[in-house]
Amino acid sequence: MIGLLVIVGPTAVGKSRVAVEIARRMRGEIISADSMQVYRGLDIGTAKPTLAERQGIPHHLIDLVEPDDDFTVVDFQRLAGEVIERTASIGRLPILVGGTGLYVKAILEGYSIPETAGNQELRHELAGLAEDMGPEALHALLARVDESSASRIHPHDLRRIIRALEVYKTTGTPISLLQNREEGAHRYRPLIVGLSMARARLYRRIEERVDIMLSRGWVNEVEQLLAGGCGEDLKPLQGLGYKHLVDYLRGRVGYPAVVSMIKRDTRRYAKRQMTWFRRDPRIHWISVDSYPEPEVLLEEIVQLVASRINVIYNTDNL
């Protein structure tokens, strides 16, 4: 089994910074578990670490595909698995970092995810139904054919609702049944560290980070994506913040309103992330608030790695 450090938590809690420092101390390499950082050109709004912020630490699964390329959790599961095995094979510590819960789960649980071909015509048909009747109606339709998936998917998560219905209509089998665990899928011995923060402080950090992103040219980044031929209906441009800025650039909403909407929806996203991760009893939660000195926090994580997965990694030699 491969020892694997996993760092999860809500957006803006500081996962990337902590991961880089741990990697420096323990000869680690970072595997991004972020569904938006795989896209080239989406840098500011995805909080993609800059080369300076990476401090020379290898980062994987960043800038893999163009915004108009199709990239799925199946692709992530395969590529991340290859990187983790390769990293471990050269005696380095693989560190999976990110807030996309489904990506993390795909690695830790080893789900067999259906690789059905995309059916654009069906997707457009389902999207049209959602536009006419609302996403709740489509969610109710999913509940009739796949109650298990419907119970896990939020009624407003239109993309996942459409995907689940697409799989059902294409294969005749609910996606939840196709997502059974593979036999012998547990290839890893994971230490899962969850970083948390008091809600008020986290929300302040989120709002400050949105302001910083905008000051660094986030609007211009979206403008360049549109000018480069990216349609606003592409999945990356439907991502958090990007869809809001597309609306602003198209003249559908004013600037003060769009900034407020991005901050509001990012706070809501952070709350959903915590709800997702709190379901996993394996996560060792660490409150960032309890460590005013970053070095103490880092040392605790180093000690956890040494005690939990030193069967695989002799940390004295890393």
Phi, psi of 237, rounded to the nearest 5 degrees: -80, 0
- Kindly report, residue by residue over 177-234, the tens digit of the pLDDT: 666 554 335 689 999 999 999 999 999 999 999 999 999 999 999 999 999 999 998 9
Query: At a CB cut-off of 8 Å and minimum separation 6, what does 74 contact?
Result: 113, 114, 115
Tokens, residue 191: 């230490």
CATH of range 120-174; options 1.10.20.140, 1.10.940.10, 2.120.10.30, 1.20.120.1200: 1.10.20.140
Question: Residue 315: is its pLDDT beyond 60?
Answer: no
Using the structure block, give the residue that is written with the tokens 């709004």. 45
SS3 219: helix
Q: Which helix (H) or strand (E) holds 285?
A: strand 284-287
pLDDT score recorded for residue 311: 45
- Kindly report, residue by residue over 54-74, the tens digit of the pLDDT: 999 999 999 999 999 988 888
Q: Which of 60-74, 83-97, 113-127, 191-205 has the lowest mean pLDDT?
A: 113-127
- Kindly report, residue by residue over 149-166, the tens digit of the pLDDT: 888 898 888 888 998 898
| Residue ranges in the chain assigned as alpha helix (H) | 15-26, 51-54, 73-89, 101-109, 120-133, 135-145, 147-152, 158-171, 175-178, 199-215, 218-227, 242-249, 255-278, 294-309
Question: Residue 98: is its pLDDT beyond 70?
Answer: yes
pLDDT band at residue 114 under the 50/70/90 scheme? low
Residue (of 119, 102, 156, 153) closest to 280 by Cα position: 102
Is there a shared CATH topology between the 2-112+188-317 domain and the 120-174 domain? no
CA 55 – CA 255 distance, rounded (Å): 35
Q: Report domain extents, the chain.
A: 2-112+188-317, 120-174
79, 64 in Cβ contact below 8 A? yes
CATH of range 2-112+188-317; options 3.30.70.260, 3.50.50.60, 1.10.3720.10, 3.40.50.300: 3.40.50.300
- Kindly report, residue by residue over 248-298, the tens digit of the pLDDT: 999 999 999 999 999 999 999 999 999 999 999 999 999 999 998 989 999
Overall pTM surpassing 0.85 (yes/no): no
